[in-house]
Amino acid sequence: MANNNEFLEFNNAMKLYELDIFTLGKMADEIRQKKFGKKVFFNSNRHINPTNECADICKFCGFSAHRKNKNPYTLSQEEIFKEAQKAIEIGALELHIVGAHNPKLDLKWYLELFSNLKAKFPQIHLKALTAAEVNYISKLANKSYQEVLELMAESGVDSMPGGGAEIFDEKIRDYICKGKVDSKTWLDIHGYWHTLGKKSNATMLFGHVESREHRIDHLLRLQKQQEKSGGFNAFIPLVYQKENNFLKVEKFPSGQEILKTLAISRIILENIPHIKAYWATLGMNLAIVAQEFGADDIDGTIQKEAIQSASGSKSANGILKEEIISQIKDAGFIPVERDSLYNEIQTY
Ligand code: SF4
């Protein structure tokens, strides 16, 4: 802790976990209702994961090709264009492109991919590259991350996803994903992206070896970054998926602990507009319940997903838009289809 105020802030935030789930839910719901009433946002998107061949070995990862997942792949640009074409034909408005740290895919490859995608499909929103990937690709190209971010923007990337944040605490980070972008650089990359007038999201991977203290520390660091650069659209607390990885986790969080964490995120991150209950890691049922605990978004149709599903999530084939709409309505909320920047497209 840097000073007395930060110490007080941290302790007060920690006390939120001592409240019962209904009190916390009510506090979070008041903020949510003030911002968005009974709206629940979703979008029509498509995840494309160009490669799972990775130079890093994060202990929690079931996606990258390793001895528990012997299925290395790297898509060609032609294959990606075909996937994008199909996705757009069935209604995707956003391509969400994230993958592994593959030394064969350099900066030039990515910039070509983005500008070709934009040339072929000018209407699509390109959400691409986590801050961890930006950091990796910058080092590979021997360029600063600032230069890489500027080139990404010039090549048509519209916004950045929030992955790679994991847990900011340096000791936990070192244990679960040593070698990956450090916490300060993750925040600086998003900060610089925001100075280019662009938006991004932020995540936190929880429910593994971290403690409540580490989660609060993570949320407070994000709150401060948002005060400085202001470009985070949504915060996405990702629940750890337990299959096919090397992290030895003995105790998994209960539904109550997950909902408390979502509610606390809403309370601490009042300066980030949206809290997303990402159905791919929560399951659709809990993602809908989370709307009573501060969340206002469940992500989207996804169509195809390789990262969370590699570790046990039931998200490999996405979900139909009609199913999302019916689940949201059934829970007494108003389904609102949005674009990637939260402009409202249609209310159902
Ligand atoms: S989480 Fe990302 S960087 Fe880490 S091993 Fe998996 S693919 Fe590689």
Per-residue pLDDT of the chain (348 residues; tens, 9 = 90+): 556 677 779 999 999 999 999 999 999 999 999 999 999 999 988 999 999 999 999 999 989 997 667 789 999 999 999 999 999 998 899 999 999 999 999 999 999 999 999 999 999 999 999 999 999 999 999 999 999 999 999 999 999 999 999 999 999 999 999 999 999 999 999 999 999 999 999 999 999 999 999 999 999 999 999 999 999 999 999 999 888 788 888 889 999 999 999 999 999 999 999 999 999 889 999 999 999 999 999 988 877 767 666 776 776 777 888 999 999 999 999 999 999 999 999 999
Measured in Å, residue 34 CA sits from the centre of ligand 1 at 37
From CA 268, how far away is CA 214, in angstroms rounded?
A: 14
Residue 111: phi and psi, rounded to 5, are -65, -40
**Cα angle for residues 236, 238, 242 (degrees, 5° grid):** 170
Taking the centre of ligand 1 as the mean of its atom positions, its distance from the CA of residue 57, in whole angstroms, is 6
Alpha carbon distance 122, 341 (integer Å): 16
120 token code pair? 């072929």
Domains of the chain: residue spans and CATH: 20-347 (3.20.20.70)
**How does pLDDT run across 68-88, given as a tens digit for each residue?**
677 899 999 999 999 999 999
CA-61 nearest atom, ligand 1:
6
Cα 101 to ligand 1 centre (Å):
7
Pocket of ligand 1 (CB under 6 A): 54, 56-58, 61, 63-64, 100-101, 132, 177, 180
Instruction: From the CA of 177, give the closest atom in ligand 1.
Output: 4
What pairing do the DSSP bridges indicate for beta strands 334-338 and 344-347? Answer: antiparallel
**Has 53 been labeled as part of a binding site?**
no
pLDDT at 62: 87
Question: Is 177 one of the annotated binding-site residues?
Answer: no
Q: Which atom of ligand 1 is nearest to the CA of 99?
A: 7
Q: Which tokens sit at 137?
A: 């690709």
Question: What is this structure's pTM?
Answer: 0.95
Residue 257 annotated in ligand binding:
no
Q: Residue 66 carries which DSSP code? A: B
- Predicted local distance difference test score (pLDDT) of residue 32: 97
